[in-house]
Structure 1
Amino acid sequence: MRKFLVMAMLLLGAIAPLSAQEYFLEKYQPFDQNIPSPESFLGYGIGEQHTRHDMIVAYLKTLATLSDRAELEEYGKTYEGRSLVILRISTAENLNNLESIRTQHLAIKNGEVPAQDTQPVFINLGYNVHGNEPSSSEAALLSAYTLVASEHPEIAAYRDHAVIFVDPTINPDGRDRHTQWANSFKGSPLVADPQDIEHNETWPRGRTNHYWFDLNRDWFLAVHPESRGKLNWYHQWYPHVVTDFHEMGTQSTYFFEPMKANGSKDPIMPKENYEDLNNLFGDYFATSLDSIGSLYFTGEVFDGTYPGYGSSYPDLQGGLGLLFEQASSRGHVQETDMGKVTFPFTIRNQFVSSMTTVKAAVENRTYLQDYQKRFFESGVDNARKSGINGYRFEINNDQNRLQAFLDKLLLHKIKVYEQNDGSYLVPTAQEQYRMVQSVFETYNEYRDSVYYDASAWSLANFYNADYEAVKGRINPGREITDSESVVSIPDFGPSSYAYLVNWSDYNSPAFLNFLQENKVRVAAAFKGFTTEINGNATSFAPGTLMIPVSKQEINTDQLFEIMKAGATQFKVPVQSVATGYHRGKGIDLGSGYVNPMTPPKPFMLVEHGVSSYEAGEVWHLLDQRVHMPITKIPTRNFEGASLQDYKTMVMVSGGYNTLDSAAVAKLKNWISKGNTLIASGTAVSWLIKNKVISEKLVEKKDTTETSDRLPYITAREELGKSEVGGGIFEVDLDLTHPVAFGYTDEKLPVYKNNSVWLQPSKNQFSTVAKYTDDPHIDGFITDKNLNEFMKNAASIVTTKVGSGRVILFADNPNFRGSWYGTNKLFLNALFFGAHIQVPQ
């Protein structure tokens, strides 16, 4: 009765004295008095304020120092230098023999020995991938303390039969951004009004990492150090159970799996996972939450179709990924329709679920071991039954894009082999068959039409790889174990005339920026030509960089050293030439089609009304891959900003509602002076609506006729499926256009996750990319969107504004930092934009 009253008081908004740790920990007494509780270490009770990541790490270090039941390991660093750590917890004996336990665990996974009751189960308690969903990291502190310090027989049994890996904060940069906000605006007394500033973070909020990426979408794409570090750790340990703790809207209750049904027609994860195992663990969670009076729901939302969540990637590795969603206090206490939700209450639900996860895993450890073994065996069996023996792919004339793709395959432990003809083969009959499916298979049939995330993720299309299924006999060839081995830098000697750099390589824009930063004068060929290299006729496509020796302000030796340094750093092939005369085989190097390149000096609008995700993608691309600064100007400062030094502007998706008519006039005037605006997604719609440009959207057909009546309860599904949640489609490129320089195939896969349907330009020379007659490659799209909109729409259009131009991307060429195949379209717009003349 006492526990129920305390819980009820918290639900009604009465804040209990937080020094009373019994609210969380009474059940697991007694505790080792030599080990400090979180409250005694931090100097405040859990839930009284938000805990910084450095204090979380410091506490876990203390546990590892004071107890032989815990060890701390670091698996990476964030962009901002914060440690990514995991606390290993078990008995002292287990930790002393951990390597042999891991070896035995892998032997069971590999089917070499049967499951064993004496073998500890591996449990990964993962927390706080979204930085402004903070209850879980506080629960991580309580879980770590309980599992290390409790002398309760139940906890002692957990240590005997499990190795528990506590990852307290998957997104430390985002968490600290939110922590600073919540603690800075905490009132005394606390303010529960939802309109208070404490409950309303400013842009870009703490959900995302340093570059404003959602790390819960990055397990499969593996772009960032947080994910890459965790994946390297994951494939060392292959845990049986992985938790993924989140928060949702304040008016909600609590969610645990089972999820909404997988949207795929034939999910690649075993039915045993999303039915039997989910239901088995679900019974445990329901019992625990019932015991403290918490309300919850299951099965209605949060499908696990996309393989890149923290709760779905483990499902494709023979484990059980478990999603939890807690109604957020978004601060310390907040009013709801059902009373007040307090920070301590949100933490308690996450803590209870953490301990219940350990209980369920320990009590079903042999089942989990056997399931993981059968999971990988079934993968190989499924591959043999599929009729496809492998996937052959090639990425020609771009060794850095090839390396990036191979790196991703190897990170996911996919075996890949080099063929004699220079192509690569991925056999299907391998342990990671389900990951091979995720990389190469495409779909057009689904049992559901509304997705929590993307409906398409065939990674080979992200990299614009030319691939095909192989059904006949295969000869694997040489196994690739290191993606670096595919990259070579051809030797080149000093030139007294000029150097040439082929623009087809992914890193060519970074090399160009490097040269410009080193004050090297660079020109680019806007028509192709053929010249002799070492006595061999060699073709160079439009976009080729030309570095004339005689036009530099530095001497030939200094120029050569800079060229060598750039070629080495960015692994871009460079050719030395002794003449600019090509005997009629295309333009000569002194042609009017060879234009001097000037640095684009870009800026981008950010803040309110701008998609932080897409802005972060541009920032990350230029920072991390091009090594080029971009000025980020808040929309609130735009009217007063001096723009005269900038040549290029970027507008990603957004409503831009803070820009008034004066700002619109300023923008149009700036473009008209000869500058370049690059716009993507809904920014295109905004420009058309505000008449900055004269292009148009594909018009919707009149739907005023009476529609058939539909059941009210189906409204969410019916309306949701009309959205383009994320699919892969084919466009036709004009390879002669500067935005398409570096591409060799007119057909290109692009990613679309919006409903921006841009009409082809009335100017015959300005539609750079148009969807093909049969554009669908992968993912869900309604027949109406496909036939009435997409097939009549363009993907990329350029348009004239005064003496300047606007380059319109209806789709997002930089999606989640992963679309290596379309990044160059954006970078072409950035570097070549000033030379694009829109004919009238």
Structure 2
Amino acid sequence: MAYGQKIREYTTEPFFLTPLIDHLPVSKTVPTPEKFFGHVTGAPNILTYSKPLADYLRALEKASPRVHVISMGPSEEGREMVVALISDADNLSHLSDIKRMNGRLADPRGLQEAEAQALLKRTVPMYWLTGAMHAPESGPPEMLMELAYRLAVSEEPNIKTIRKNSIVMITPVLDTDGRDRAVDVYRYRKANPGKAPIPLVYWGKYVAHDDNRDGMTLALKMSKALTKTWLEYHPQVMHDLHESVPFLYISTGTGPYNAWIDPITVSEWQDLAYEEIEQLTKANVPGVWTHGFFDGWAANYGKTVADGHNAIGRFYETFSAGGADTGIRSTGSASTREWYRPNPPFPSVRWSLRDNVNLSESGILVALHKVASEKDRYLQNFYLKSKRAVAKGRTEGPGAWVFPSNDPARKRQAMLLKLLQSHGIEIQRLDEAANLDGQSIPRGSYVVRMDQPYSRMADMLLDTQYYKPSDPRSYDDTGWSLGPLFDVKTWRIKDPAILDRQMSPSPDITMIESDAPRLTKPLRIALVHTWTNTQDEGWARLALEGMKVPYDYLSVHAIRDNADLRAKYDLILIPQTGGSAQSLVNGIPKVGDPIPWRPTPEYPNLGGPDATDDIRGGLELAGVANLQKFAREGGTLVCVGNAARMPIDYGLVSGVSITPPQALNAPGGVYLTTKEDAESPLLKGYGANLAGYFNMNTMPILSTGGGSGQGRGGAPERASGRGSLTDPDVIQGRPPYTPKAKPGDVPENDSPRNQGDRPRVLLRFAGRDQVMVSGMIDHPEELAGKPALIDCPTGKGHIVLFAINPFWRGQTVGSYQLVLNAAEWVKP
């Protein structure tokens, strides 16, 4: 068949071809990918937009009773996300019954064992495959089209087993907005080989790679759709397809594994991975491996929707083809032989998009066949994990998490409770007061019982994380406790007696507005982005829009070109961004031709959320001067994280410096800050302490001229001598002395030598033994006592420097008001 010949032609080496996919079955009625798209899957130099991919799945549905397509809803920019369900026609005709039975296994409360075993015999597992969560990872959407056809048409024994004993769910593109931009960027590069390529400035509307870090707060429509679909169908496996390391990495992880996931799931990770490795290695495929890439710890990935709900979350990383290019590629350190990689990739290889398709499709077919042929085992495990989750409240505990009804942070409390409900977690209200674990729990308090099916997900989000410093390098954040980050009270009640107290379901959480992040008067706010990194500022946009705070969205070029910013704005916010102060100021080098970022008739998906004729250049010295003028004329400039380097390095503030870490290791977690200046309007509404997000790998450690006031142990230092920290020293040989003021004395602060704009530390990181709330820290003395928030008065205005990130992945709701309070400083 011509299709099979093209597969072999596009495959660069025979060892990248397996008998599972070296041909394509023939159908007289169902269109092949070649017939529909005009090319074979994995053809060089060709990528497909999101809508034709969805249209092909609907063409399969029209031609075959084995395919059913549903919509998952639109993206932020209106592009549709879909899922195709592929199975025997008989299974699909009973889809509603299978959904109901799997839902009953997911919630086994009140289910008798005999009834459960009957359900297990009648239902089938579901295996959900998702592609293009990361827009530039181009192979999975193409591969999934061929896989869908193969599953719908083939009469080979392994495919027939998959169809009979399971339902395969296929979502070709999750980030539909980013996928279409990535295709335009690739097509532009191929059509203009003599021009500078256009970088993928934006992926989705808000965030780029971080869309796979939204598994907890569900801020993006993609994450909401994933969770809603999982809760409707309860697939036992969710398999997310990515691209990076060679040739095929299958997720398990170095550990430490997430402590709240049922250990059965961890065993299933290993079992599936080693089956795929064994079968592909038997087929003489090199470079298929596991373990040494991911850690399995953080709960923020898209696959958490499965892991946190007693299912199996997994992913692939297949070697990227750089779009759909073919050529010699170096594999770098992944070519070394390790105990977990006994058959490593070659140091260099000729690689193509078809090679990418071959390896991922072959591995998936092995996994699908294993789950289908051992369906009873995977369904039994799913049912058992669900039962163990219900038993959790009375076995390993805790009994419940309580949100006290007298917490003044009612709005933030409601936001967190509604987020838990979005994960399918049930909320109850206590009908009477209780006294348990030394806590006086008032009547009406919200209770998250740990004897419910998704107790592990709730515990995962609310509990405290500890990541041992000597464990393997963390792949992402080490701590994420949402109670402290939302700045709300959460009580972990260990006593299972809480479960016997009278309480009532609370399906509707009342939204109290009194403590909502707010502005008391309309202010003119600008949020600034660079053209080099639009990742983190998207979280700031989501936060402001969630609070219904209006703002103008400006590039650094708009700041550079406007010398009278104060006439238009009261607050200018530069969120966390990558790079140095110099990269913020210099931007993309101005060499060669202009690099546009805006839509054209030929490339309609370029541009958005902002557009320009030339992304080169940055803030530049003119922009720095304009910001300094803005602050001196009464505006407030807020710089978060790495953006705080710019006013320090370019002299907009004095008395503030950056301290390079020596031995500190704090790679993303929740850290405690303490109020230093109780009178500052910026801290209005806050108590003595606030938990904030800090990551030493992306954020600077700030210092002020007077030192941190903290010693190596985290306590205030004093000179050696008699006494203690609180018992004053007495210098021998001289009497005590206290000066007496007289009329006419000039106050110290009015002395000419002390006039000027001096920085004021508003928040400091807590002492050595208190600074870590959740996550990991090694050598905490380097962070203890350092400024977390600094106000630098500048002329009539302020420059505010954040060493914590108030807008981090939708998690730091408790910090939002700090930025709005900064806006309140500006007088109308």
TM-score band, normalised by shorter chain: 0.7 to 0.9
**Aligned pairs (5 A) from 1:221-236:** 221-236=217-232
Letter in 2 for 1:729: L
SS at match of 1:239: coil
The correspondence for 1:282, drawn from 264, 274, 290, is 274
Which residue in 2 is equivalent to 1:216?
A: 212
Question: Is 1:452 matched up with 2:475?
Answer: yes
Letter in 1 for 2:569: Y
Question: Is 1:486 matched up with 2:486?
Answer: no
SS at match of 1:76: strand
TM-score by length of 2: 0.77
Letter in 1 for 2:230: Y
Q: Do the aligned partners of 1:307 and 1:313 also contact (CA within 8 Å) in 2?
A: no
SS at match of 2:41: coil
Which residue in 1 is equivalent to 2:489?
A: 466
Which residue in 2 is equivalent to 1:800?
A: 793
Q: Do the aligned partners of 2:563 and 2:626 also contact (CA within 8 Å) in 1?
A: no
Q: Do the aligned partners of 2:478 and 2:667 also contact (CA within 8 Å) in 1?
A: no
The correspondence for 1:38, drawn from 25, 33, 37, is 33
Deviates more, 1:56-65 or 1:341-350: 341-350
CA, structure 1 residues 51+8, in 2 after alignment: closer, same or farther (shift >3 Å)? closer
Whole-angstrom distance in 2 between the partners of 1:292 and 1:3 = 23
Question: Is 1:666 matched up with 2:626?
Answer: yes
Which residue in 2 is equivalent to 1:258?
A: 252
**Aligned pairs (5 A) from 1:280-679:** 280-288=272-280, 290-291=282-283, 293-333=285-325, 334-337=327-330, 338-386=348-396, 388-394=398-404, 396-419=407-430, 420=432, 421-446=443-468, 448=471, 450-472=473-495, 473-474=497-498, 476-483=501-508, 485-487=509-511, 504-506=515-517, 508-509=518-519, 545=520, 597=521, 599-608=523-532, 610=533, 612-633=534-555, 635-636=556-557, 638-644=559-565, 645-653=568-576, 654=578, 655=580, 656-658=584-586, 659-679=619-639
Whole-angstrom distance in 2 between the partners of 1:672 and 1:617 = 28
Letter in 2 for 1:139: M
Whole-angstrom distance in 1 between the partners of 2:305 and 2:296 = 9
Aligned-residue CA RMSD in angstroms? 3.2
SS at match of 1:255: strand
Structure 1 unaligned regions, length at least 5: 17-21, 490-501, 510-544, 546-596, 704-718
CA, structure 1 residues 213+322, in 2 after alignment: closer, same or farther (shift >3 Å)? closer
Question: Is 1:739 matched up with 2:679?
Answer: no
CA deviation after TM superposition for structure 1 residue 331, in Å: 2.0
Q: Which has the higher contact order (CA 8 A, sep 6+)?
A: 2
CA, structure 1 residues 196+152, in 2 after alignment: closer, same or farther (shift >3 Å)? farther
The correspondence for 2:148, drawn from 135, 144, 155, is 144
CA deviation after TM superposition for structure 1 residue 802, in Å: 2.5
SS at match of 2:703: coil
Whole-angstrom distance in 2 between the partners of 1:481 and 1:397 = 19
Q: Do the aligned partners of 1:668 and 1:692 also contact (CA within 8 Å) in 2?
A: yes
Whole-angstrom distance in 2 between the partners of 1:412 and 1:631 = 32
Letter in 1 for 2:456: R
Q: Do the aligned partners of 1:129 and 1:170 also contact (CA within 8 Å) in 2?
A: yes
CA deviation after TM superposition for structure 1 residue 149, in Å: 2.3
**Aligned pairs (5 A) from 1:676-715:** 676-697=636-657, 699=659
CA deviation after TM superposition for structure 1 residue 834, in Å: 1.6
SS at match of 2:242: strand
Once the two structures are superposed, residues 138-164 of structure 1 have per-residue CA deviations (whole angstroms, 9 ceiling, x without a partner) of: 111111111112233332221111111
Once the two structures are superposed, residues 99-119 of structure 1 have per-residue CA deviations (whole angstroms, 9 ceiling, x without a partner) of: 112222233444531274553
Question: Is 1:99 matched up with 2:96?
Answer: yes
SS at match of 1:626: coil
Deviates more, 1:402-411 or 1:471-480: 471-480
CA, structure 1 residues 281+327, in 2 after alignment: closer, same or farther (shift >3 Å)? closer
Structure 2 unaligned regions, length at least 5: 331-347, 433-442, 587-618, 707-756
Q: Do the aligned partners of 1:289 and 1:349 also contact (CA within 8 Å) in 2?
A: no
CA deviation after TM superposition for structure 1 residue 293, in Å: 2.5
TM-score by length of 1: 0.76
CA deviation after TM superposition for structure 1 residue 696, in Å: 2.1
Once the two structures are superposed, residues 66-121 of structure 1 have per-residue CA deviations (whole angstroms, 9 ceiling, x without a partner) of: 21111111122111011121111111111111111222223344453127455322
CA deviation after TM superposition for structure 1 residue 125, in Å: 1.1
The correspondence for 1:68, drawn from 62, 65, 69, is 65
Q: Do the aligned partners of 1:260 and 1:303 also contact (CA within 8 Å) in 2?
A: yes
Question: Is 1:238 matched up with 2:229?
Answer: no
Once the two structures are superposed, residues 325-377 of structure 1 have per-residue CA deviations (whole angstroms, 9 ceiling, x without a partner) of: 01212222154231332222222222222222211211221111111112122
CA, structure 1 residues 386+800, in 2 after alignment: closer, same or farther (shift >3 Å)? same
Which residue in 2 is equivalent to 1:759?
A: 703
CA deviation after TM superposition for structure 1 residue 380, in Å: 3.5
Q: Do the aligned partners of 1:257 and 1:282 also contact (CA within 8 Å) in 2?
A: no
Whole-angstrom distance in 2 between the partners of 1:165 and 1:476 = 42
Whole-angstrom distance in 2 between the partners of 1:168 and 1:387 = 39
CA, structure 1 residues 378+84, in 2 after alignment: closer, same or farther (shift >3 Å)? same
Question: Is 1:823 matched up with 2:816?
Answer: yes
CA deviation after TM superposition for structure 1 residue 477, in Å: 4.5
CA deviation after TM superposition for structure 1 residue 432, in Å: 1.7
CA deviation after TM superposition for structure 1 residue 209, in Å: 4.8
Q: Do the aligned partners of 1:263 and 1:450 also contact (CA within 8 Å) in 2?
A: no
Which residue in 2 is equivalent to 1:56?
A: 53
Deviates more, 1:154-163 or 1:395-404: 395-404
Q: Do the aligned partners of 2:674 and 2:764 also contact (CA within 8 Å) in 1?
A: yes
CA, structure 1 residues 7+166, in 2 after alignment: closer, same or farther (shift >3 Å)? closer
Whole-angstrom distance in 1 between the partners of 2:236 and 2:52 = 29
Q: Do the aligned partners of 2:671 and 2:773 also contact (CA within 8 Å) in 1?
A: yes
Whole-angstrom distance in 2 between the partners of 1:282 and 1:238 = 25
Deviates more, 1:137-146 or 1:435-444: 435-444
CA deviation after TM superposition for structure 1 residue 315, in Å: 2.2
CA deviation after TM superposition for structure 1 residue 28, in Å: 6.0
Sequence identity (%): 20
SS at match of 1:223: coil
CA, structure 1 residues 642+37, in 2 after alignment: closer, same or farther (shift >3 Å)? farther
Once the two structures are superposed, residues 429-468 of structure 1 have per-residue CA deviations (whole angstroms, 9 ceiling, x without a partner) of: 2222211221221133536252111111222223211122
Once the two structures are superposed, residues 487-533 of structure 1 have per-residue CA deviations (whole angstroms, 9 ceiling, x without a partner) of: 368xxxxxxxxxxxx5x323x33xxxxxxxxxxxxxxxxxxxxxxxx
SS at match of 2:691: strand
Whole-angstrom distance in 2 between the partners of 1:295 and 1:311 = 24
Which residue in 1 is equivalent to 2:740?
A: none
CA, structure 1 residues 244+387, in 2 after alignment: closer, same or farther (shift >3 Å)? closer
CA deviation after TM superposition for structure 1 residue 320, in Å: 1.7
Deviates more, 1:5-14 or 1:92-101: 5-14
Whole-angstrom distance in 1 between the partners of 2:503 and 2:393 = 21
Once the two structures are superposed, residues 366-393 of structure 1 have per-residue CA deviations (whole angstroms, 9 ceiling, x without a partner) of: 1111111121222234432335322211
